[in-house]
Amino acid sequence: MMTQLTAAPEEAAAWLKRGEAVAFPTETVYGLGASVWSLAGLERIYEAKGRPADNPLIVHVSSRAQAAEVGAPNAMAEVLMEHFFPGPLTVVLTRRPVVPSRVTAGLDTVGVRMPAHATAQAFLQACDAPVAAPSANRSGRPSPTTWQAVLEDLNGRIACILEGEPSTVGLESTVVDCVHDPPLLLRPGAVSLEALQAVCPTLSVASATHFSARRSPGTRHRHYAPRARVVLVASPAQVPGGRAHAFIGLAPAPDILGYQQVVSDLAEYAQHLFAFFRACDAAGIDTIFCQTVSAG
């Protein structure tokens, strides 16, 4: 299969309407989308990524009305959507029966998100349907934050890539289960726990028992992983020298001989992290040292 590159949202949407999987930019990471109404398109997502079938997909919508077509929001979901839509939050709602179980991996809930990104919005509107989309990487690889990274993983495996700017957030959306009372944070991401609790004080972090009850199968799978080993360090001075070592953090590592990237704050760290992982893999780095940073 030839993978077509385009900067025109309508052209990318035309591929999706023909039942193909199409990669598109969002503010968090690039997604690999198919219409929730196209079983062929949904199959192509799993095939192209090599994704385990028990990992549900997030449905991307262009409006709150479209969100209500796939999920039934309760009062808490309405509050969270009011505050964080459009943006990097995914709300898990009770699934409408019309949604194919291929989207939700057989769950009775559905994850829904409205991207705050002009190109993503133009694409979703042109698609004229809710778009199921995981991150546009091969399973187990870091999520792509540029169209070039999508091409690296999925060239020849998908019909089309909608080109856009690099993703500005660089981390996936935060996933919150709104069906559970009180709401539970299932996956940490671009919206912080503090920001969520400011709006919904009862919200808490899901426990291991919650996951073992298989409510969020995807969280069992390996995420964000470069091929290189990742080691956390408190200070750049702790990074040993060596050509096969790389470092990312707030100040330069004095002894590093390989690759390094200095970032000025947490937001910049998030924005560059996945692209740095990919660059390290491409450069044959075997250990990536990451400086730990506390929020606030």
Binding-site partner at residue 117 among ligand TXA, Mg ion, none, CB < 5 to 8 Å by type:
none
Rounded Cα gap, residues 23 and 34, in angstroms: 9
Q: ∠157-162-164 over CA atoms, to 5°?
A: 130
Dig out the tokens for 104 from the structure: 């939700």
- 65 residue type, one letter: A
| Binding-site size, Mg ion (CB under 5 A) | 1
Rounded Cα gap, residues 181 and 201, in angstroms: 12
Peptide bond into 252 cis (omega under 30): no
Nearer CB in complex with Mg ion: 83/227: 227
Stretch that binds ligand TXA, among 12-20, 150-158, 171-179, 263-271 (CB under 6 A): 171-179
Residues in the chain: 296
Output the CA–CA distances (angstroms, integers) from residue 230 to 245, 246, 273, in the order listed.
Answer: 10, 10, 12
SS3 278: helix
Q: x/- binding map, residues 127-166, to Mg ion, per CB under 5 A?
A: --------x-------------------------------
Of the residues 119, 139, 216, 260, which one makes contact with ligand TXA according to CB under 6 A:
216
Of the residues 28, 119, 260, 271, which one makes contact with ligand TXA according to CB under 6 A:
28
Binding-site partner at residue 186 among Mg ion, ligand TXA, none, CB < 5 to 8 Å by type:
ligand TXA
Q: Quick check: 139 binds ligand TXA (CB under 6 A)?
A: no
Stretch that binds ligand TXA, among 15-23, 35-43, 108-116, 199-207 (CB under 6 A): 108-116
Question: Please, where are the H alpha helices in 166-229?
Answer: 193-199, 208-212
Q: Which residues here bind ligand TXA, judged by CB under 6 A?
A: 26, 28-29, 31, 55-58, 88, 90, 92, 104, 107, 109-111, 113, 133-135, 172-173, 175, 186-187, 216-219
